[in-house]
Amino acid sequence: MVDFKQERALAKNRIRRRGIYLLPNLFTTAALFAGFYAIVQAMNGRFDQSAVAIFVAMVLDGLDGRVARLTKTQSAFGAEYDSLSDMVSFGAAPALVVYEWSLRSMGKLGWIAAFIYVAGAALRLARFNTMLEVADKRYFQGLPSPSAAALVAGFVWIIDDYAIDPETVRWAAWAVTLFAGLTMVSNLKYYSFKTINLRRSVPFAVVILIVLFIVLISYQPSVVPFACFVVYAISGFIWSGWLALKRRRG
């Protein structure tokens, strides 16, 4: 016969299992809000704020997983919630922002490019989720959706920051959007930075480089992040070519 206290303890455990961890999901919710805010500001014609909101979503998206690992609060719910948040912040938001900003005047070509980007983000996230257990942790297969969003949002931010008419660069915006969408579903290898251990000691020069990087961002907040993500997007082609060359020589 089961003791009454044991039954209460089992019931409490079942309730506890049904709950969700608050701290990492707060970061995910904040990232989701930033993506939604980017869409709203694009509808209001404030494209600089839209671009900044997407970059804020990137920072928050990078924090939620690390917070979950540090506090040991990973969960299946958190993983699914993070994926849905990414689809809004790095899939729908950048496509709608760039469409409202410049691609709308291109008619069918404009919304087709925007849709290819959205579809690429959805396929990229679905492939990432299904290959999570078997993929090499050192590399991403295809350009990560936050980096693709940074390319699109960064381009919008730079042009808006320099007060250039979006109509004069609409073909460039179309090319950037299409490039980002297709690169997400490519088989290119991108370094994931997951092997970097922040708990290890580093040379003093690394700290100086970080300080210089922060100063550069403060001086040119629209140019420096976009340039970094352009280099990262190109690195996939270089790294994949190098790996293919090594395999041939082997």
Q: What is the pTM of this model?
A: 0.87
Over range 201-206, report the average pLDDT: 80
pLDDT in the model for residue 131 = 85
Q: How confident is the model at residue 7 (pLDDT cuts 50, 70, 90)?
A: low
Residue 7 falls inside a structural domain: no
* Count of CA atoms in the C-beta half-sphere (13 A) of 162: 13
Over range 41-53, report the average pLDDT: 96
Q: How confident is the model at residue 3 (pLDDT cuts 50, 70, 90)?
A: low
Determine the Cα–Cα distance for residues 100 and 243; give it in Å rounded to an integer: 39
The sign of the dihedral angle between the CA atoms of 123, 126, 128, 134 is negative
Burial of 33 (0-12, 13-18, 19+ CB in 10 A): middle
Angle (CA) 123-126-129 rounded to 5° is: 150
**Tell me, what CATH number does 131's domain have?**
1.20.120.1760
Determine the Cα–Cα distance for residues 38 and 54; give it in Å rounded to an integer: 6
Q: Is the pLDDT of residue 216 over 80?
A: yes
Residue 4 falls inside a structural domain: no
Q: Is the pLDDT of residue 39 over 60?
A: yes
In the structure encoding, which two tokens stand for residue 66, read together? 């690390």
Q: Which bin fits 135, alpha (ψ -120 to 50), beta or left (φ > 0)?
A: beta
pLDDT in the model for residue 79 = 87
3-state secondary structure of 189: strand
pLDDT in the model for residue 122 = 97
Q: How confident is the model at residue 4 (pLDDT cuts 50, 70, 90)?
A: low
Lowest mean pLDDT among 27-31, 67-71, 107-111: 67-71
Residue 5 falls inside a structural domain: no
Q: Total structural domains in the chain? A: 1
DSSP H or E stretch at residue 190: strand 189-191
Q: Which pairs with CB-CB distance under 8 Å and at least 24 residues apart come from 221-226?
A: 222/51, 222/154, 222/157, 222/158, 222/161, 223/158, 225/55, 225/150, 225/154, 226/150, 226/151, 226/154, 226/155, 226/157, 226/158
Residue 115 falls inside a structural domain: yes
Residue 244 falls inside a structural domain: yes
pLDDT in the model for residue 26 = 93
Q: How confident is the model at residue 9 (pLDDT cuts 50, 70, 90)?
A: low
Q: How many percent of the chain have pLDDT more than 90?
A: 63
Residue 67 falls inside a structural domain: yes
Burial of 123 (0-12, 13-18, 19+ CB in 10 A): middle
Residue 189 falls inside a structural domain: yes
Q: Is the pLDDT of residue 5 over 80?
A: no
Q: 190 forms bridges with which residues in the sheet? A: 140
Determine the Cα–Cα distance for residues 248 and 244; give it in Å rounded to an integer: 6
Q: How confident is the model at residue 16 (pLDDT cuts 50, 70, 90)?
A: very low
pLDDT in the model for residue 22 = 80
168-195 pLDDT per residue, tens: 999 999 999 999 999 999 999 998 887 7
Residue 6 falls inside a structural domain: no
Check residues 248 and 154 and name the one with the higher pLDDT: 154
Domain carrying residue 116: 16-249
DSSP 125-140: HHHHHHTTTTS-TTEE
Q: Is the pLDDT of residue 108 over 90?
A: yes
Alpha helix stretches (DSSP H) within the chain: 4-18, 22-43, 47-70, 76-87, 93-101, 108-130, 145-161, 170-184, 204-219, 223-249
